[in-house]
Structure 1
Amino acid sequence: MPVVAGESGDFVYRRGDGRAYAKVATAARSEELSGERDRLLWLHGNGILVPEVIDWQIMEDGACLIMSAIEGVPAVDLPASDLLHAWPSMAQQLGFLHALDADQCPFDRGLATMFARAADVVGRNAVNRDFLSDDDRETPAIDLLARVERELAVRLEQEARDRVVCHGDPCMPNFMIDPQTLRCTGMIDLGRLGTADRYSDLALMTANAREIWAGPAQEQRARAILFETLGIAAPDRARLDFYLRLDPLTWG
């Protein structure tokens, strides 16, 4: 049963009993899908709640990754009050990921890598304007890239001191929640997992949830819960803003 065509262009199908999914990629994206497979295998070996790889198939026109389903509903489908109840366990799951030994992680999504990707996307005029903030949509992509580049040196220094295993795309559709207990049952869509500055994850998680919250007070409460859970006493707002400016330039 088809579920969705994701931002990557892959197609996702759910098995009839709902206990497994198949993600199908074109030949051009087969290498990236195999990277997601490898990340899932590595994470399972480290006790993180993610889908289990069931099968991997190479076909003439692409590849297919078959994986177990994570029970629950995507966090994006929860009303604001339920999301706030689920939020501490979501933060905890992200914290478990960040606590893995980054030196043992074979996957990189560090700032140098992601800036190079952004430069490639901008160079191909492939930036998706829908991913940009309202303030940036009319700004030429080359100027947006230059703004990021001006901060690159200081952000690379910060990353060197605070490099962790990051999800890479910790948005609300990628956290699964038990609708009864409102606890996080796992994370999905891990094709961008790799070592990076933890703030690259924190920026995306807080920004993506913003449109769900009922108002500023609820948003501030969620931010406080996230940083308290992760043991960050003084969140660096400028660092969060930097990664929010970089991320939209890396899709394309």
Structure 2
Amino acid sequence: MGIQDAVLSRFVRGGEDWTPVTGGESRAAVLRSPDGASFAKVVGAAAAEELAGERDRIEWWHATGLAGPAVLDWSSDDDGACLVMSAVPGVTADRLDLDGLSAVWPHLAETVRDIHEVSPDRCPFRRDLPAMMQRARDVVGQDRVVPDYLPQGWRDRPAQDLLDRLETEYPDRLGDERQEAVVCHGDLCLPNIVVDTETSRVSGFVDLGRVGLADPYADIALLLASAREVWPDEDAGRGADAVFATRYGETLDGARQLFYLELDPLTWYA
């Protein structure tokens, strides 16, 4: 019996199976419990170590007092592993309409600031630029880039060209990170942010497998780019960026923002 079958049989209650969850870019199988109170993430043996890292990050995040899931159970065998975690109440921010995202946007900026203000000394995990650049070199070198993840202007060009451009900026960006490494979510896009629509406040963050110390723009760049898909035009997008900058408390650095927006898609394997 494979790990996924074992997990399903273990968590069946009253004849009701856990429900597969669709969407997202993870290669893991994600299942929701019949009562919706918890989720199980199941991977094969090749990804078991990575899932164990996510488990450890969730436990740290939760213990630190940041809003997100709690680890409920962990199981593994030669076929793979399963992580069971509590659900975060609310809806993911990618499901909000323009009014809904606009309402929560100021609180989201403040919440991201609060994450970034957690003392770096408390965080045992790293997502630093040397590691992410090496991952990008590996992905490009193995020809495993996912074209659909790339910024629009780069989808018809060789990924090596984009990597070469990033390499020229790497020394400057490494200097930025060494001066300002903070606790980052690591994949801060709208589907990973859960919102209480009654209060228009962030209720938590999910998909914590990339939590670690990094340049704050590793988060900021992804969040602002993800949100741009909701604002109706460029002026509205710039206005949202300005609100974010004011509530976050920093004048946005366009060069750092673009660097991390272009680096991130090179760090995901096809």
Does the pair score TM above 0.5?
yes
Q: How many residue pairs were aligned? A: 251
Can you list the C-alpha shifts for 1:180-238, whole angstroms capped at 9, x where unaligned?
22211000001011100001110000001111112223212221121112210x21111
- Give 2:218's aligned residue: 200
Identical positions, percent? 47
Give 1:6 shift.
4.0
Q: Secondary structure at the match of 1:168?
A: coil
Can you list the C-alpha shifts for 1:65-102, whole angstroms capped at 9, x where unaligned?
00000000000000011101011122222122111111
Paired residue for 2:188, among 160, 170, 178? 170
For 1:184 and 1:104, how far apart are their aligned partners in 2? Answer: 23
Counterpart AA for 1:50: G
For 1:230 and 1:161, how far apart are their aligned partners in 2? Answer: 18
- Give 1:251's aligned residue: 268
Could you tell me which runs of 5 or more consecutive residues in structure 2 were left unpaired when the two chains were aligned. Answer: 1-18
For 1:240 and 1:195, how far apart are their aligned partners in 2? Answer: 17
- Give 2:138's aligned residue: 120
Q: Secondary structure at the match of 1:184?
A: strand
Counterpart AA for 1:245: E
For 1:210 and 1:202, how far apart are their aligned partners in 2? Answer: 12
For 1:26 and 1:5, how far apart are their aligned partners in 2? Answer: 19
Paired residue for 1:93, among 111, 119, 135? 111
Matches within 5 A, 1:163-242: 163-232=181-250, 234-242=251-259
Matches within 5 A, 1:62-81: 62-81=80-99
- Give 1:146's aligned residue: 164
Runs of 4+ in 1 over 3 A off after TM superposition: none
Counterpart AA for 1:9: R
Task: Tell me, yes or no, if the aligned pair for 2:30 and 2:39 is still in contact at 8 Å.
Answer: yes
Q: Which has the larger radius of gyration?
A: 2
TM-score by length of 1: 0.97
- Give 1:25's aligned residue: 43
- Give 1:60's aligned residue: 78
TM-score by length of 2: 0.90
Task: Tell me, yes or no, if the aligned pair for 1:14 and 1:20 is still in contact at 8 Å.
Answer: yes
Counterpart AA for 1:125: D
For 1:31 and 1:17, how far apart are their aligned partners in 2? Answer: 29
Could you tell me which runs of 5 or more consecutive residues in structure 1 were left unpaired when the two chains were aligned. Answer: none
Counterpart AA for 1:236: D
Deviates more, 1:112-121 or 1:93-102: 93-102
Q: Secondary structure at the match of 1:65?
A: strand
For 1:93 and 1:28, how far apart are their aligned partners in 2? Answer: 34
Q: Secondary structure at the match of 2:22?
A: strand
Q: Secondary structure at the match of 1:4?
A: coil
Task: Tell me, yes or no, if the aligned pair for 1:5 and 1:12 is still in contact at 8 Å.
Answer: no
The answer to whether residue 93 in structure 2 is matched with residue 108 in structure 1 is no
For 2:193 and 2:88, how far apart are their aligned partners in 1? Answer: 9
Task: Tell me, yes or no, if the aligned pair for 2:24 and 2:191 is still in contact at 8 Å.
Answer: no
Q: Secondary structure at the match of 1:45?
A: helix
For 1:170 and 1:222, how far apart are their aligned partners in 2? Answer: 16
For 1:109 and 1:225, how far apart are their aligned partners in 2? Answer: 27
For 1:122 and 1:8, how far apart are their aligned partners in 2? Answer: 19
Root mean square deviation of aligned Cα:
1.1
